[in-house]
Structure 1
Amino acid sequence: MPLKQNLHPKNRHNNGYDFLALCQALPALKPFVHTNKYQNLSIDFADANAVKALNQALLKLHYQVGQWDIPAGYLCPPIPGRVDYIHYLADLLAATLPVALTVNKNKVSVLDIGTGASCIYALLGQREYQWQFTCSDIDPTSIKVAEQIISADKSFKKSITCRLQPNSSQIFTGIIEKDDRFELTLCNPPFHRSLAEATKGSTRKVKNLAANKKSLKSPLTTGNPVPLNFGGQKAELWCQGGELAFINQMIKESKTIQKQVLWFSCLVSKKDHISQLKQTLNKYKAKQVKVVDMAQGQKISRFIAWSFLDETQQRNWYDLV
């Protein structure tokens, strides 16, 4: 069944999930696959174990990631949407440095803020574009699990490193070192302002998943109520002030490292926040600001990107000291 999404043209998941091929790649997925009311193969997307198995199969079949796992309760990312962000960032980079990227492809360095236990952006970005990644997080468990995933693959070990952020009130400070240079930074920020707001949002998601179901129980499990399929720890879901406060802090800190990064970027869940973020970027004198929409069915996601370098400085990026 095709995904009801209008993903990036380069997205491998534009034609939906081939469950027969996925089950062949990962036999452990097979017990979770059933025929839905539309007579298509699918899984119970309210079942955390089913969603994790689907991710493992997708990563193995399409991205040659042989070993991937996350602890219970940690964010299980939807891969088609995550890789869309990567592809649109690649477009932004190609438009900025079309010739230099051809010559310096393996030099592209990316900073992933809040990589999470899944380390998903680094895995996808390395496989699709052979980018080099530095991954940061404030959660020691997330860093530990991400490093375990990385250590299981030779190419990941050569191209992905992790750094623990020791201060939860900082984003770039304490992570970016004096001699670091990044073509891109990316971030999927904590969207909610409090645990109560995050819980409310999670409950709404579960209700939406169950809208066409008689219950929240998977037909292929023991019948126990299923946990939230997307999970998420505190730092993954909420922070004081929510995403607007988080991204404003990110912009403020980015000013201090303005010559070390070609393009900063961050997902923005609420369209209404864009105008306020543009005001902050104007306050800190960003020279370029772009908002990129990413269509996914009825949902439109987006990221905001900014640079303190003008177009001429960007074209001469590899010559800048």
Structure 2
Amino acid sequence: MSQLSQTPATNQKPYYAQDVDFEDLAKRDPDWAAICKTSKQTKWIDFQDPKILLQLTKSLLKCDFNLTSLDLPDDRLCPPVPVRWNYVRWIQDLLDTTSDSYSDRYDAARQVVGLDIGVGASAIYPLLAASTRTEWRIAGTDVDQHSLDYARQNVESNGLSKQIKLALTTTDAPIIPMEALRLEELDFVMTNPPFYTSEADMQASYNGKNMAPSAVCTGSVNEMICPGGDVGFVLRILEQSLQLREKVQWYTAMLGKLSSLQQIVAKLKEHEITNFAVTCLQAGHKTKRWGVGWSFGDLRPRIDVARHGDLVHAVLPNPSAQTIAVPLMSTEWAGKKVDAALKELDVRWQWRAGSATGVMEATENVWSRAARRKKKFDGQQSGGKDVSMADEGEDDGDGEEEVPVALAVKIVASDEKVEVRWLRGADHMVFVSFCGMLKRALTAHE
């Protein structure tokens, strides 16, 4: 059985959704097969042995990502692959569903530049990102020269030096060192920060569990502990993001506890950052990690990305999709009603009847009663002539300044329902208002 969950054919590697199937991995990799110990009654693998933990990581990287070389010192973290890949995969989804094209799909030609803060000795995140997306370029930083030496070796031995560049930084330098890296903009920032505030905090975490850790921890102090733990580390990124703002499209972080996620989301709301996404990065039944991403842009991630995995209601962002039920009505009927309703508005509207899909952009709320009354009055004053965005058509490339978009949505009609996907906009209530108007248009009696 595959180690990875199945997704539609998109030429993308899917998330790990289940525990690693060690028997299947043994069939695919002789190095792992040599380590597995079996008996007639039971199968066991001693993950308290660092060598076994390292071999599992190496085998998964080789079999699932074609990364054939990994060398780590005995005194640095050996990263389990599944949760780390799920974090990278989630960032891919964030970017894919917040592109200017509104496609919601992976664009193999899109050039992406990202930053991993704290690459560690493995450089696991840059390796996973670069090996699965050839047009991605990843910068990586670390405060530990020992780890960085190994990271550079792992990048070079896997032939990814053209895509990955690593740099030493210091604890008092900007946590996102744009100037030092000679970068003007970034598509994303990612980090897997130390989870604990102190050795006592780390020990208390272990003592609070009913069972011993499933795998030995070989991490150094700087990999496991920092002032404020993961929350303190991510708050440093948040503070700098308030200065950089849209110079980075997505700021993201992995967190060790649900309570940490709750604290970060509360801080985002405190700063009135409404465009954020959350995820539970669980891979199988054991390890759970959480992720958060936020953006100062107005492109909205698809709802299954913004609210990904097993999460509590308190951390969820506003929904970026609504379903309007139209019982007993066909796709053709619903599509015609949608098309007719949108053609009455001063918006840019593209409708494809064949796929029953349309995209609408509006510069302001033009569907409210007040806006309709004003339109009618203005039409009377101008002798009935109305000029809409739809009349203007697409950008003719004459260099005129682009009009800001207050709301963009994708609408898909099907039998008995219409799906509305929020693509762009700063105000959730404008999206809700539009959905309300569309619902009235679809459910009004003839």
Corresponding residue for residue 186 of structure 2 = 182
- The secondary structure found in structure 1 opposite 2:78 is coil
Conservation of the 8 A alpha-carbon contact between 1:111 and 1:186 = yes
Provide closer, same or farther for how the CA distance between residues 82 and 256 of structure 1 changes in structure 2, counting only shifts above 3 A.
Answer: same
Give the whole-Å Cα distance in 2 for the aligned partners of 1:136 and 1:73. Answer: 19
Match of 1:301 among 289, 306, 309: 289
Does residue 164 of the first structure (1) align with residue 168 of the second (2)? yes
Conservation of the 8 A alpha-carbon contact between 1:291 and 1:304 = yes
Provide closer, same or farther for how the CA distance between residues 159 and 173 of structure 1 changes in structure 2, counting only shifts above 3 A.
Answer: closer
Following TM superposition, by how much is the alpha carbon of 1:279 offset from its aligned partner in structure 2, in angstroms?
3.4
Provide closer, same or farther for how the CA distance between residues 153 and 274 of structure 1 changes in structure 2, counting only shifts above 3 A.
Answer: closer
Please identify the structure whose Cα radius of gyration is greater.
2
1:41-98: CA deviation from partner (whole Å, max 9, x where unpaired): x521111111101111111222121210110021111101110111122222221115
Give the whole-Å Cα distance in 1 for the aligned partners of 2:73 and 2:39. Answer: 28
1:146-204: CA deviation from partner (whole Å, max 9, x where unpaired): 000111132x1111111111235642146764533221111111110102322454577
Corresponding residue for residue 393 of structure 2 = none
Provide closer, same or farther for how the CA distance between residues 77 and 140 of structure 1 changes in structure 2, counting only shifts above 3 A.
Answer: same
- The secondary structure found in structure 2 opposite 1:272 is helix
Conservation of the 8 A alpha-carbon contact between 1:22 and 1:61 = no
Match of 2:35 among 32, 36, 52: 32
Any unmatched runs of 5+ in structure 2?
A: 8-13, 300-404, 409-422, 425-446
Provide closer, same or farther for how the CA distance between residues 39 and 100 of structure 1 changes in structure 2, counting only shifts above 3 A.
Answer: closer
1:20-41: CA deviation from partner (whole Å, max 9, x where unpaired): 65476353x445311268634x
Q: Which moved more, 1:299-308 or 1:258-267?
A: 299-308
Q: Which moved more, 1:57-66 or 1:18-27?
A: 18-27
Give the whole-Å Cα distance in 1 for the aligned partners of 2:107 and 2:28. Answer: 38
Provide closer, same or farther for how the CA distance between residues 279 and 30 of structure 1 changes in structure 2, counting only shifts above 3 A.
Answer: closer
| TM-score of the pair, normalised by structure 2 | 0.58
Corresponding residue for residue 141 of structure 1 = 146
Following TM superposition, by how much is the alpha carbon of 1:287 offset from its aligned partner in structure 2, in angstroms?
4.4
Give the whole-Å Cα distance in 1 for the aligned partners of 2:17 and 2:262. Answer: 32
Corresponding residue for residue 120 of structure 1 = 124
Give the whole-Å Cα distance in 2 for the aligned partners of 1:13 and 1:271. Answer: 19
Conservation of the 8 A alpha-carbon contact between 2:97 and 2:103 = no
Amino acid at match of 1:138: V
Amino acid at match of 1:67: S
Corresponding residue for residue 72 of structure 1 = 74
- Structure (1/2) with the larger helix percentage: 1
Any unmatched runs of 5+ in structure 1?
A: 211-227, 317-321
Give the whole-Å Cα distance in 2 for the aligned partners of 1:202 and 1:115. Answer: 25
Amino acid at match of 1:305: G
Provide closer, same or farther for how the CA distance between residues 168 and 26 of structure 1 changes in structure 2, counting only shifts above 3 A.
Answer: farther
Amino acid at match of 1:147: R
Give the whole-Å Cα distance in 1 for the aligned partners of 2:295 and 2:241. Answer: 9
Corresponding residue for residue 320 of structure 2 = none
Conservation of the 8 A alpha-carbon contact between 2:139 and 2:166 = yes
Work out the percentage of aligned pairs sharing the same amino acid. Answer: 24
Match of 1:62 among 61, 64, 68: 64
